[in-house]
Amino acid sequence: MLLAINSNNTNVKFALYDDDREIGSWRIGTDAKRTADEYAIWLIQLMALKGKTPADVTECLIASVVPDTLYNLRQLCRAYFGRDALVYGDASVKKGTVAKVDRPEEVGADRLVNTVAAHHFYGGPAIVVDFGTATTFDVVDADGNYCGGVIAPGINLSIEALRMAAALLPRVAVRRPEKVIGSTTVGCFESGIFWGYISLIEGLVARIRDEFGQPMKVIATGGLVPVFADATGIFDILDQDLTMKGMVIVNRLNRQA
């Protein structure tokens, strides 16, 4: 079985796969100081609830945009699962896509893995909108190449930044207000966050399509997809597990190498 580990700025996600079938997935807050032992205590108990043990893991793959987490995640795989993990981005690991941008080495692992999965499952050209710490828009051409994109502040980050900068604004949850025009301070804040984000998504997708010059399907992924999916018709495909599915494909590609 494959243990896929995706380390992002907010969470580290672990998923266990038997070929293409997900056995279980678990998230923990990203903390560069968390040791391999701490990961293991938490993860092995959760795996046990699915009837799995470390002995069931035969492969490990790590994709990370937080370099400081890599050492302890590698140690976790080596010490507790008896495997040397493949690390997406290492020179010896096949990426499954070509980054056709000015600085390919700067492209985040998650964005490349999303590109691999988007092309494999849905074809191209496509735009992948990933709701994470940042909201990213990744452009995938018909051949499955990564062609650049857009990085915007994530919605939770935007809420926190505005709240901290404005003394009278309270903490609010991300939800869909019934009206765009708010009649209270909280209502105005909620509307600006929610409908402002919808406008950002629709506006950027339209501009990307115009600039790319070809019809493009739009794929949404990330934990906040359900919050926005019903408020706009811009998304053609909803796939919250796109990144982890991409890691399965990348692992298979490297296994066959």
Secondary structure, 3-state, 28-94: EECCCCCCHHHHHHHHHHHHHHCCCCHHHCCEEEEEECCHHHHHHHHHHHHHHHCCCCEEECECCCC
Query: What distance in Å separates the CA atoms of residue 133 and residue 11, rounded to the nearest whole number?
Result: 9
Quick: pLDDT tens for 8-51: 888 999 999 999 899 999 999 999 999 999 999 999 999 999 99
CA 40, 45, 49, 51 dihedral sign is positive
Does 110 participate in catalysis according to the annotation? Answer: yes
Query: What distance in Å separates the CA atoms of residue 35 and residue 126, rounded to the nearest whole number?
Result: 38
Could you write out the DSSP letters of every residue in 186-244? Answer: HHHHHHHHHHHHHHHHHHHHHHHHHHHTS--EEEEEETTHHHHHTT-S--SEE-TTHHH
Chain-centre distance for alpha carbon 177: 26
Q: Which domains does the chain have, with CATH numbers?
A: 1-86 (3.30.420.40), 102-244 (3.30.420.40)
In DSSP terms, 135 is beta-bridged to 131, 152
Q: Is 251 annotated as a binding residue?
A: no
Phi, psi of 146, rounded to the nearest 5 degrees: -85, 125
Query: What distance in Å separates the CA atoms of residue 130 and residue 133, rounded to the nearest whole number?
Result: 9
Quick: pLDDT tens for 50-82: 999 999 999 999 999 999 999 999 999 999 999
User: pLDDT confidence of 153, banded at 50, 70, 90?
Assistant: confident
Quick: pLDDT tens for 80-104: 999 999 999 898 999 999 999 999 9
Quick: pLDDT tens for 187-236: 888 888 899 999 999 999 999 999 999 999 999 998 888 888 888 999 99
pTM: 0.88
Buried b (16+ CB within 10 A) or exposed e, 214-226: eebbbbbbbebbe
Q: Is 98 annotated as a binding residue?
A: no
Pull the structure tokens for residue 107. 């492209």
Quick one: what percent of the chain has pLDDT higher than 70? 96
Quick: pLDDT tens for 100-138: 999 999 999 999 999 999 999 999 899 999 988 889 999
Q: Which of 212, 202, 198, 200 is nearest to 126 (CA)?
A: 212
Q: Is 94 annotated as a binding residue?
A: no
Comparing 52 with 185, which gets the higher pLDDT? 52
The DSSP H or E segment spanning 173 is none
- β-pairing verdict for 2-7 and 146-153: unpaired
Active-site residue (options: 37, 56, 110, 141): 110
Q: Is 11 annotated as a binding residue?
A: yes
**How big is the chain by its Cα radius of gyration, in Å?**
19
Would you give the DSSP letter of residue 99? B
Q: Identify the pLDDT of residue 170.
A: 67
Amino acid 210 reads D
User: pLDDT confidence of 257, banded at 50, 70, 90?
Assistant: low
